[in-house]
Amino acid sequence: MNKLSSLVLSAALIALPVSGMAAYEGGDVKDGGTISGTVKFKGSAPTPKKLDVSKDKEVCGKTAKTDQSLVVNNGNLVNAVVTITDIKKGKKLETKKVTLDQKDCEYHPHVLAFPAGSAIEIVNPDGILHNIHSYSKINTPFNMAQPKFKKTMEQKIDKPEAIQVKCDVHGWMEGWLVATETPYFAVTDNSGSFKLTDVPPGNYTVEVWHEKLGKSTQKVTVKAKEDAKVNFEVTGK
């Protein structure tokens, strides 16, 4: 390959986008609308399993522990992440510092969503050893011991991904970090509700992701300064 060809090839490689993040353009939104609704669980929800606190009981046993992987409150699905999957332009994507607490040997919140590129402050108020271990496939996995004297640690998540985290010291501790590609995300609360704001008028695909129940999508049309309602009913597996 001659020198000119090498230069052309190098320029082409540099011009290629390094990730899907480059596809989203953030800025001011004029006459934006909202997308809101609820996520329901279809069928009879199982009773949450009680977890066996087998270590550091004087700290971890202060509160009763139940499996948080499927929480249904009066038919409403809690801890589902709602996103717009095909939006290319909208409000500014601002990374930020978010907090994952390990109080009483549980992750709070159980599902933590944030824009990719954000930093997570991992807090240990328990006065005992924790060890947070991520099971990433896209981002570089991390496995960090947090002794009692180390009250906070920080970890950045660079790329969009739903990442399971566990504590290697306390086997019942499980949670999820959900890094999103755009600023349009929400985690359903105890009423199963969500709301996405400042959405430019247009046609979009709204997705619900849940750690146990997978993904569901619906099409929605957003009109200027109006609220588009989208309600999901997710079936148990």
Q: Which one-letter amino acid corresponds to residue 154?
A: E
Q: Please indicate whether residue 3 or residue 17 has the higher confidence score (pLDDT).
A: 3
> What pLDDT is recorded for position 237?
67
Report whether 217 contacts 206 (CB < 8 A): yes
Residue 63: pLDDT band with limits 50, 70, 90: very high
Q: Do 70 and 212 touch, CB atoms closer than 8 A?
A: yes
Decide: helix, strand or coil at residue 222. Answer: strand
Domains along the chain with CATH numbers: 18-235 (2.60.40.420)
Cα–Cα distance, 69 to 225 (Å, whole number): 36
Half-sphere exposure of 71 (CA within 13 A, CB side): 19
**pLDDT digits over 164-207, tens only?**
999 999 999 999 999 999 999 999 999 999 999 999 999 999 99
Contacts of 3 (CB under 8 A, 6+ apart): none
Per the CB < 8 A criterion, the answer to whether 182 and 43 are in contact is no
Contact 194, 39 (CB under 8 A): yes
The confidence score (pLDDT) of residue 22 equals: 53
Residues 149-154, mean pLDDT to the nearest whole number:
97
* Residues paired with residue 186 on neighbouring β-strands, in sequence order: 82
